[in-house]
Amino acid sequence: MSRTARQGSRLLRHPAWGMAVGALCVSASAVLLGLARTDPGTASFYRCVLALPALMVLAVPERRRQGPPSGGQYGLALLAGAAFAWDMLLWTQAIAEVGAGLSTVLVNVQVVLVPLLAWAIDRESVPRSFLLWVPVILLGVVLTGGVVEGGASGSDPRAGTLHAVLAAVCYSVFLFLLRRDGHSGLVRQRYVLVIACAAVVSLFAGRFAYGLDLTPGWKVMGWLLAVAVSSQVVGWLLVASASPLLSSHVGAVLLLLTPVGAVALGAVVLGERPTLLQLVGCVLILVSAYCAALREIRPRHRPDRGADVGAPGPEGTAD
């Protein structure tokens, strides 16, 4: 077993930590894409293609032990990959329009949508306290997008807000399917299918709508390779492995570590300067989501210290 695989296995004995580390790894992608300065289609295509060799190597031991996925698992993985591709395309477009850190915050309206999808489709219970915070979270999204004032870091905050919210819908579908299909096992093989499908969709969408440069230059390729490693190989693989072991709203809240890291990195690395109201919006999103889920997180971690935290519990169904 490789060193990366061993470290991932240790993290997944504590799925909340695995999700948190994965989210922080993903947070770097917004800033790295800002440094790459390339078309959304080029970025989305190459961040998937460059990750595939490493992901296929990681999936080989799983295939030898457990065999290939079933037909149904293939279908869900391909659908998740298509949703992920559109999320990346729309979100990368939004980075230039509303800024790297803030576009990441906007797309994290998933903290509302993923639990609602789990409730509507899988009948997973959603805490009432969480639903009470939904209006506050949405207010935070409006403030963060710079709709109230014109001081966003990007070139077009209103268009960026629209693109980021559309990305959030695709992102939420992707997260829901990734978690839902994860209960059946074969996480690494299915994740390879997700990324391969996302690469194909990004190739065609980039060619006809979002721009695609198959020879972007070594500098751009270097930044995209960094995105592929930090986000696709490490970050999202940890999220794919940890999310089935957590309830939908707890996983969604832990993914809010992504905008926290992105806002900090955007300010330090790219020199982005969000306005006061935008910072208030960020705080509203993060604090309200944390408070909404706090009551649900505490019972899961405190009483079970003597239990095997690596084993799937009731988190995958209702609370």
Give the structural domain span for 227.
Answer: 18-302
Which of 285, 313, 67, 92 lies closest to 205, judged by CA? Answer: 92
Domain membership flag for residue 1:
no
Does 233 or 27 have the greater pLDDT score? Answer: 233
Domain membership flag for residue 211:
yes
Mean pLDDT of 230-249: 90
Which of 110, 154, 96, 135 lies closest to 278, judged by CA? Answer: 154
Which are the contacts of 11, defined by CB distance < 8 A and separation ≥ 6? 17, 18, 21, 238, 242
pLDDT for res 209? 76
Domain membership flag for residue 57:
yes
Q: Which of the residue ranges 146-150, 207-211, 240-244 would you say has the lowest mean pLDDT?
A: 146-150
Report the chain's mean pLDDT, rounded to a whole number. 79
Mean pLDDT of 99-107: 71
If one counts the domains in the chain, the total is: 1
pLDDT in tens, 69-99: 877 778 888 999 999 999 988 987 887 787 7
Contact 273, 267 (CB under 8 A): yes
pLDDT for res 176? 92
Domain membership flag for residue 310:
no
Domain membership flag for residue 3:
no
Domain membership flag for residue 196:
yes
Domain membership flag for residue 311:
no
Domain membership flag for residue 309:
no
